[in-house]
Structure 1
Amino acid sequence: MIDESRRQTRVRDAATMRALSHPARIAVLDRLFSGEPATATELAEVCGLSPSATSYHLRALAKAGMIEEAPSRGDGRERLWRSQHRGLDVATGPERGPAEQAADRELATVFLDLEEARAREWLARRDSEPYEWYLASASAGVRLVATAEELRELNERVLALLEPYARRSRPNPPPEARAVDVTYRTFPRA
C-alpha cells in the first residue's frame, strides 16, 4: 500500500520484508527511489555487484512489487528499471504473527548495518571533506525521560521537522545541496 502523501510503501507482510532483506536490494531501491530509471549495469555500480548478480536482485524486487520495468531511453536494447515509490514504511507491531516479526527484525538488522557502515565511512573521510560540511555534520546521543505518549509526540515532531528536506519532498533542491543521511531512533532502555 502506498501512502500518497509521502509516496512511501507500507510493508507489513513477511514475504516482502524478506525480499528486501539484502544490502544490495536496499542500495538498488535507494537509487531508484530518486525517480530516475536505471539499467542493471548502472545499478551494479551502486550495489557493488556484477550486472548479472544485480539482475537477480532486480527480479526479486520486481516480484515483490517494489520495482518495475521502465520505458526504454532509446533503441529498446537496454532494460530499464524504476520504482514508483519514494520510501519505505516498515513495521509489523506486536499484533502480527511470528513470521512477520522475524522478517521485520531481519530487515531492521540490514538497515542498522547499513546505517552503521555509512556512519563509519563518513568518519573515515570527514577530515577530507569541505570544512563547512565537517561543521554541519553531527552525531549526538541524548537519554530522555518520557512517557510513551510523550515519545510518540516527540517522534511526530522530529519527523515533521525532517520532512521538508526529504528527497521525496524536494524535487529541485539548491545546487549546493548534497544527499545527507539522518538516522533517528527512539526506544526504551531495559
Structure 2
Amino acid sequence: MTQGSEGLSDPRAMRALAHPARLMILNRLAVEESATATEVAEIAGITPSAASYHLRMLAKYGFVEDAPPRGDGRERLWKAVDKRLSVGMEPDDQPEVRAAKVSLIAAFRREVNEEAERALAHVDQESAEWRDATLFGRYRIRVDAEELARLNREIEKLLEPYAARHRSEKVAPEGARIAEAQVNLFPIAPRAVPGLPTEDHDAPRPE
C-alpha cells in the first residue's frame, strides 16, 4: 500500500506499516478523532513506550500526525492522516517493491481475516437486529476488467458516506456502532487440477 490515489510504492513505508501492532493502531486512529500512546497501547496489547515508538514510525512515513491537544495539553495526541491507503501490483515493480507489497498485503489480509473470525465467533451474542444485518457473503460474478473496475468505484462511492473517519458519533443515528465492510474484487486465478486419486480413501473397506 502507498498513500493517495497513486497507491503505496515506498518499500520502507510499506515495511513500516506491515506490523500487526501498527495496523491495529492505525485502525484505532481511523475510528477515533485522536488518541494518546497509552490509549492505543491498550488496544494493541503493547506497552505505552512501545506504542510511542510505533506511532513515531507511522508518523515518519506519513500515516499519522499530531492531533490538537485536549485538556491541559500535557499528553501528546495522535490522529490518522486523512488519506486513503491503497496498494496494487504493477508489472514494472522492482523486486524490493514487490516483496514489500506482498508482505503488506499479507499482513493486511491476516488482520482482515482475524476481524471476520472474531465477528463470526461473537455473532450469537449479538441482538437479533444485528444478526439479521450481518452478512458473510461470497459471489461469483462474470465481468470484464472495465466492469470490475467500475464495480469497485461504485462500492466505494456507496460506502464513503458511512466511513467512520468522517462520520462522527454526533452525526450518526442513535445506536450506531463501528462495523466493518470487507470488499475483495479480483479475477479468479487458474487452480491446478490435482487429477484423480489412485486410491479411494473414503470408500468402505471390506470386513
TM-score, normalised with respect to structure 2: 0.80
**d(CA) in 1 for partners of 2:70 and 2:166?**
26
Q: Is it true that 1:23 corresponds to 2:23 in the alignment?
A: no
1:160 aligns to what? Answer: 157
- Superposed CA offset, 1:2-41 (max 9, x none): 75xxxx8942221111111011111111122236221111
CA contact (8 A) 1:34 1:86 kept: no
Identify which of 89, 93, 96 aligns with 2:90: 93
Give the C-alpha shift of residue 57 in structure 1. Answer: 0.8
Deviation at 1:174, TM superposition (A): 1.1
Is the alpha carbon distance of 1:184 and 1:114 closer, same or farther for their aligned partners in structure 2, counting shifts above 3 Å?
same
Aligned residues: 186
For structure 1, which segment, 117-126 or 162-171, has the greater mean C-alpha deviation from structure 2 after superposition?
162-171
Give the CA deviation at 1:138: 0.4
| Whole-angstrom distance in 2 between the partners of 1:2 and 1:151 | 22
TM-score (norm 1): 0.87
What is the CA-CA distance between 1:158 and the residue it aligns to? 2.1
State the 1:175 CA deviation: 2.1
Aligned to 1:47: 44
Structure 1: runs of 5+ lacking an equivalent:
none
Greater Cα offset, 26-35 or 42-51:
26-35
* Structure that is richer in helix per residue: 1
2:57 corresponds to: 60
Q: Identify which of 89, 98, 103 aligns with 2:100.
A: 103
* Higher radius of gyration, 1 or 2: 2
Question: Is contact 1:2-1:10 (8 Å) kept?
Answer: yes
State which drifts further: 157-166 or 119-128.
157-166
Partner-residue secondary structure (3-state), 1:177 = coil
Query: What does residue 172 of structure 2 align with?
Result: 173
Given the superposition, is the C-alpha separation of residues 168 and 72 from structure 1 closer, same or farther in structure 2, using an over 3 Å criterion? closer
Superposition map of 1:89-168 within 5 A = 89-168=86-165
Instruction: Report the more deviating stretch, 173-182 or 26-35.
Output: 26-35
The CA deviation string for residues 35-63 of structure 1, in whole angstroms up to 9 with x for no partner, is: 62211110111211111121121121111
Q: 1:104 to 1:54 in 2, by over 3 A?
A: same
Q: Which residue of 1 aligns with 2:35?
A: 38
- Structure 1 distance, partners of 2:35, 2:87, is 24
Structure 2 residue runs of 5 or longer lacking an equivalent are: 191-207
| 2:165 alignment partner, SS class | helix
**Are 2:8 and 1:11 aligned?**
yes
Q: Tell me the SS of whatever aligns to 2:31.
A: coil
